[in-house]
Amino acid sequence: MGMKIYIEHLERDLGRWILAEYRSSYRLAGEMLTITGIEIPGLPSTRKRFYELVEPLKAIILDPQAPEELKPEDLRGYEAIVIGGILGAHPPLGRTKKLLSERFPEAAKRNIGEHPFPIDASVYMALEVIRGKRIEEIPVALGLIIRKRIGNIEHEIELPYAYPIVNNKPLISEEVLQIIVGRGEYELIFNPVPAI
């Protein structure tokens, strides 16, 4: 059996934004992905929690506060990477640590960089490491600005998270962008941090 990725749903509700990130995660990971703690029609999901599907001893929890960065060699002997199904807050609230890491002390904990990533971006980063890449080899943008003109007024929305750069664009789903800006044209502004 290959490495699995579990997104442990930890929000009270299933809002449009988190559902969009779950859909995007599935498009990225396919059969490797299971969303746990909730059943969502059309997505690989189960009411069972991740620890009912894999022993925590065999799991790596991705936690922004973990002291060590995830590396390809860390995966040996493990069966799953667990990502918290949590919408980000700014500044971060440390909910992954409270809701996952501290509850499962026997699981390994790793970060994917010092900045918080959206759920689907975390899935992408995990997949890249599974494929053998190191975190520092994956280009990311730190923060996005979405600029949209409504009438004579130019609006700017800032998303203060880290986004992997894929095909010269930040990885953010069109569905999430539509939730933020609605219909019509917009401009994405980002500063990529080059991979080494």
Asked if 31 and 127 sit in the same domain, the reply is yes
Asked if 155 and 59 sit in the same domain, the reply is no
Alpha carbon distance 145, 191 (integer Å) = 10
Nearest to 61 by CA among 83, 92, 77: 83
Asked if 64 and 153 sit in the same domain, the reply is no
Domain end call among 115, 137, 159: 137
Asked if 182 and 122 sit in the same domain, the reply is no
Q: Where are the beta strands (DSSP E) in 58-110?
A: 59-62, 80-85, 108-110
Asked if 174 and 153 sit in the same domain, the reply is yes
Asked if 155 and 85 sit in the same domain, the reply is no
How many domains, in total, are found in the chain? 2
Asked if 105 and 166 sit in the same domain, the reply is no
Asked if 71 and 24 sit in the same domain, the reply is yes
pTM surpassing 0.85?
yes
Residue whose structure tokens are 């700017």? 156
CATH number of 118's domain: 3.40.1280.30
pLDDT < 50 regions, the chain: 196
Asked if 15 and 35 sit in the same domain, the reply is yes
Is there a contact between 77 and 67 (Cβ–Cβ < 8 Å)? Answer: no
Q: Which domain holds residue 149?
A: 140-193
Asked if 92 and 16 sit in the same domain, the reply is yes
Alpha carbon distance 161, 142 (integer Å) = 6
Domain end call among 121, 137, 153: 137
Is there a contact between 5 and 59 (Cβ–Cβ < 8 Å)? Answer: no
Asked if 81 and 120 sit in the same domain, the reply is yes
What's the pLDDT at 93? Answer: 63
Asked if 132 and 188 sit in the same domain, the reply is no
